[in-house]
DNA sequence: GCCGGGCGTCAGGATCGCGTCAAGACCACC
DNA sequence: GGTGGTCTTGACGCGATCCTGACGCCCGGC
């Protein structure tokens, strides 16, 4: 996160508050260093004061926008409508007039970040032989998609969400079939066999979906 | 674009101004009709007044957010910091206090729309057989335009916005018909058949709009 | 060597979910 | 008031999925 302001006190206040909110903060006190810092640090978001000593804030914005796709939140002492419209149309994502309320600014920064990062994408689990895309709900073996039934998918995703860790049969039964089925270990046997038949190169000698007798099952990538 | 406000004068003014700016506008005067309109009309953006006669504006926001992914711009006569922070954290994309300046509101709406539409990348989805232009709302099969009904379009655009990703039936129902229809899977069957009849080379053996039994549907280019 | 527990395998049959169709309700427009 | 298009609703047949029970195998304990 890059904070651009010429007032040392405000810079300091913002840095402390934003750090407390969990952000990494770098600062700049004028337009030129702001552009340099932005290029060097690749911030997720820029807080930009319009009243700078060297460059006009709108020039900084114009210098930023051709390549910087993250959100820019503008601070300004001037509250004229034309100023606001100009900055917003020039690429700013929000316009906050000074003096501002710190909790509100933080909320607006959260909104800007929320919009900019589309989804907290779920991971893709890979082995030498097959891949499991948890977000897309797709499994491919040697590159070709494989169809799984809902129960097979529920079981597999439980296993691959904890790579290398052993999962007890009771835990698996609870999370796939519900808490009422804690004792029906036959289900597990049947569906593990099904998964191995669809995923393992040699279902008789599993390389990825291992059985720990008496304990549970384990997925090893 | 959906405008929600209980003041008829303001509604009228907003409708006229927004129409002049090139937007299609539907209006609602209370929270319940707002939620119904949003589910029926699929607006790109919602302008929401917090002071409504029946529901609290934040309740409308809460009812909207689980399934409506477009931007929501909040209007309010109250300018307290806590109100602003609450609305912004509840999912609002901007918070404008009344009385507001119309050009500024328009600029803020433009920003919200700019951020919400995924401009990095072409809004055109293509397959070997048909193309879907999300921006122009047009579908062509082998180069010839095809007419889709509003519901068909809403369903198709949900699917092609996530190429390769499986979308659960509940998610589809929520985003196309609204959150009240989470269980009506018959709708999906009927409209998927409709889409396949219009888009697939062989509707009996779909190549692009796949069914994952028990889970949902998937568009694969 | 016998026994029992745990696991993998298999093949039915009950059940569920999907695709299809058509008729009626609803709406907007003429 | 009529008309065309769109949306809803219900019924039906078929295929896939899930459950279930039985059987054989391996391995450690007696």
Of B104, B212, B216, the CB nearest to A85: B104
Cα B168 from Cα B217, distance rounded (Å): 7
State residue A98's pLDDT score. Answer: 87
Q: Which residues, at least 6 apart from A175, have a Cβ–Cβ distance to it below 8 Å?
A: A154, A158
Average pLDDT of span A78-103 = 92
Beta bridge partners, A97, equal: A76
- Taking the CA of residue B19 and the nearest CA in chain A, the distance in Å comes to 19
Q: How far is the CA of A122 from the C1' of D17 (A)?
A: 28
State residue A4's pLDDT score. Answer: 94
State residue A221's pLDDT score. Answer: 85
State residue B37's pLDDT score. Answer: 81
Pairing of strands A2-4, A46-49: parallel
Quick: pLDDT tens for B143-200. Answer: 999 999 999 999 999 999 889 999 999 999 988 888 788 888 899 999 999 999 999 9
State residue A198's pLDDT score. Answer: 96
Asked if the model's pLDDT at residue A129 lies above 90, the reply is yes
Structure confidence at residue A118 as a pLDDT band (50, 70, 90): low
Average pLDDT of span B111-127 = 75
Average pLDDT of span B81-94 = 94
Cα A196 from Cα A205, distance rounded (Å): 9
Of chain A, the percentage scoring pLDDT greater than 90 comes to 75
State residue B54's pLDDT score. Answer: 84
Q: How far is the CA of A22 from the C1' of C23 (A)?
A: 61
State residue B1's pLDDT score. Answer: 86
Structure confidence at residue A121 as a pLDDT band (50, 70, 90): low
**Contact, B110 vs B103, CB < 8 A?**
no
State residue B217's pLDDT score. Answer: 97
Structure confidence at residue A185 as a pLDDT band (50, 70, 90): confident
CB contact under 8 A, B103 and A110: no
Using the Cβ of B22 and the Cβ atoms of chain A, whether some distance falls under 8 Å is answered with no
State residue B30's pLDDT score. Answer: 87
Q: Which positions in chain A touch B84 (Cβ < 8 Å)? A: 101, 104, 107
What DSSP letter does each residue of B15-55 carry, written as one string? HHHHHHTT---EEESSHHHHHHHHHHH--S-EEEES--SSS
Asked if the model's pLDDT at residue B26 lies above 90, the reply is no
Asked if the model's pLDDT at residue B119 lies above 70, the reply is no
Residue B199's SS3 state is helix
Structure confidence at residue B117 as a pLDDT band (50, 70, 90): low
Structure confidence at residue B135 as a pLDDT band (50, 70, 90): confident
Q: What is chain A's mean pLDDT, rounded?
A: 91
**Contact, A217 vs A210, CB < 8 A?**
yes
How far CA B131 is from CA of A182, B157, B194, in Å, comes to 49, 11, 17
Q: How far is the CA of B146 from the C1' of D12 (A)?
A: 31
Which of A115, A133, A144, A146 is most worth mutating to test chain B (most B CB atoms within 10 A of its CB)? A115
Q: Which positions in chain A touch B214 (Cβ < 8 Å)? A: 149-150
**Contact, B36 vs B14, CB < 8 A?**
no
Cα within 13 Å of Cα(B48), Cβ side: 35
Quick: pLDDT tens for B28-72. Answer: 888 888 887 887 777 889 999 998 888 888 888 988 887 787 899
Lowest mean pLDDT among A10-19, A45-54, B37-46, B67-76: B37-46
Cβ burial of A213 (10 Å; 0-12, 13-18, 19+) is exposed
Asked if the model's pLDDT at residue A115 lies above 60, the reply is yes
State residue A172's pLDDT score. Answer: 92
Q: How far is the CA of A173 from the C1' of C6 (A)?
A: 17
CB contact under 8 A, A84 and B107: yes
Using the Cβ of A115 and the Cβ atoms of chain B, whether some distance falls under 8 Å is answered with yes
């Amino acid at each position: 996160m890059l904070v651009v302001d010429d007032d040392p006190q405000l810079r300091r206040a913002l840095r402390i508050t934003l750090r407390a909110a969990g952000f990494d903060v770098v600062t700049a006190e004028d337009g030129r260093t702001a552009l340099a810092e932005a290029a060097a640090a690749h911030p997720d978001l820029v807080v930009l004061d319009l009243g700078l000593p060297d460059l006009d804030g709108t020039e900084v914005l114009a210098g930023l926008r051709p390549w910087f796709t993250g959100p820019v939140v503008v601070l300004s002492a001037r509250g004229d409508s034309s100023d606001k419209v100009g900055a917003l149309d020039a690429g700013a994502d929000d316009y906050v007039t000074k003096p501002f309320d710190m909790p509100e600014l933080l909320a607006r920064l959260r909104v800007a970040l929320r919009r900019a990062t589309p989804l907290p994408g779920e991971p893709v689990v890979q082995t030498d032989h097959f891949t499991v895309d948890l977000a897309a709900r797709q499994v491919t073996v040697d590159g070709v998609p494989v169809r799984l039934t809902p129960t097979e998918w529920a079981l597999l995703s439980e296993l691959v969400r904890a790579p290398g860790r052993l999962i007890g049969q009771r835990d698996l039964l609870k999370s796939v079939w519900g808490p009422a089925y804690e004792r029906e270990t036959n289900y597990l046997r049947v569906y593990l066999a099904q998964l191995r038949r669809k995923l393992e190169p040699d279902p008789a000698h599993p390389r990825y979906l291992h059985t720990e007798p008496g304990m549970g099952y384990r997925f090893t990538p």
